[in-house]
């Protein structure tokens, strides 16, 4: 008779994989969406300093968001790779299993809460 714990774990991993793949598709769609072009579009018409400042600010916001989305996409792809190699759910720093709540909240997490806090404060 199959182990119900292994069935449950496999089901949970499938749910995480699905959530990660959906988030990946969502991010890729946002990054390739129609609002990409207007933010970086060069205007041929001369405009005043206020227009230039607003345009520069919009470009800065777009580039910052794109940078964050790219980093998140990289984290998601890393989590999918860990799912494939069997190391998903294990802290990449201390090698201890991460809690289910941690993975439910942030399926692409690389570190357990303790190690993440250490990385964020620079005490790694």
Question: pLDDT tens across 64-115, in order?
Answer: 888 899 999 999 999 999 999 999 999 999 999 999 999 999 999 999 999 9
Q: What are the pLDDT digits (tens) for 3-43?
A: 556 778 888 999 999 999 999 999 888 877 655 555 555 55
Alpha helical stretches, state H, 32-123 = 36-40, 49-85, 100-105, 113-121
d(CA 122, CA 124): 6
pTM above 0.85, yes or no: no
Residue 41 pLDDT = 57
What are the extents of the domains in the chain? 4-88
């Amino acid at each position: 008779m199959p182990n119900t714990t292994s069935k449950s774990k496999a089901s949970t991993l499938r749910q995480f994989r699905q959530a990660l793949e959906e988030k990946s598709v969502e991010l890729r769609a946002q990054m390739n969406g129609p609002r990409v072009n207007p933010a970086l579009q060069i205007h041929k018409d001369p405009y005043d300093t206020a227009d230039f400042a607003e345009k520069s600010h919009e470009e800065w916001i777009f580039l910052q968001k794109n940078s964050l989305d790219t980093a998140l996409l990289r984290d998601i792809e890393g989590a999918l790779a860990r799912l494939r190699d069997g190391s998903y759910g294990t802290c990449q720093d201390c090698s201890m299993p991460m809690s289910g709540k941690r993975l439910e909240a942030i399926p692409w997490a690389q570190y357990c809460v303790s190690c993440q806090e250490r990385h964020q404060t620079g005490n790694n």
